Amino acid sequence: MADKKENDELAKGSAGAKAQDNAGESENIELKKKLAEAKAALKSADEEKAKLECDLDQEKKAREEAEAENRKLDDHVAKLEGSELERQKAEEKVKIFIAEGEGAEGRDDVFVGAQGISYQIKRGVEVKVPMSVYNILNDSAYTAYEESGDGEDIEYVARAVPRYNIRVVE
């Protein structure tokens, strides 16, 4: 009887050990699956990283090329502006006086751009400017609309009004 009891206990222990082995094996399989998934995710991340690094290198190269092209264009523009500035310096000058206008804006300096060269002209002061600048100022106008007619036949007629009150001093 003792042998039977021992055999039963050994059988139970053996079955328990087999159950533990099966559980351990199942856990081992799950861990291997997770490890394989993690390795696949790592490989995918590495591939994405390599792609992004390649894209970044291409962007850097494109930016460097664009900056080099911009420097060339800046140099070219500087040459053109330099030659235009020289042309305007050699151009006939005219002494003008721009009177102040109405309101706060009428006291502001007048900005004129001629072929890429900028001028800031103070109002109320006699200044010499190239003839091309004077022509730009003289041609500057805004459109004013005046009513014409009466009753239901009112029309608005456009009229060009000089923007600046300019007087040639010499």
Q: Is residue 12 one of the residues assigned to a domain?
A: no
Q: Which of 73, 90, 107 finishes a domain?
A: 90
Phi and psi (nearest 5°) for 121? -110, 125
Residue 42 lies in a domain: yes
Residue 91: partners with Cβ closer than 8 Å, 6 or more residues away:
130, 131, 132
Judgement on whether residues 76 and 125 belong to the same structural domain of the protein: no
Last residue of a domain, one of 45, 67, 90: 90
Q: Is 60 among the domain residues? A: yes
Q: Are residues 95 and 157 in the same domain?
A: yes
pLDDT given for residue 4 in this prediction: 65
One domain, residues 35 and 82: yes
Backbone angles phi, psi at 166, to 5 degrees: -110, 140
The answer to whether residue 105 is domain-embedded is yes
Same domain, 161 and 95: yes
User: What's CA 82's distance to the chain center, in Å?
Assistant: 28
Average pLDDT across each block of 10 residues of the chain; the chain has 170 residues. List them in order. Answer: 62 61 81 92 93 94 92 81 80 93 87 90 94 94 88 87 88
Structural domain of 98: 91-168
Classify residue 134 by burial, with Cβ atoms within 10 Å: 0-12, 13-18, 19+.
buried
Same-domain check for residues 51 and 63? yes
**DSSP-assigned letters across all residues of 19-79:** HHHHHHHHHHHHHHHHHHHHHHHHHHHHHHHHHHHHHHHHHHHHHHHHHHHHHHHHHHHHH
34, 97: one domain: no
Domain count, the chain: 2
pTM tops 0.75: no
Q: What span, in angstroms and rounded, lies between the C-alpha atoms of 133 and 164?
A: 13
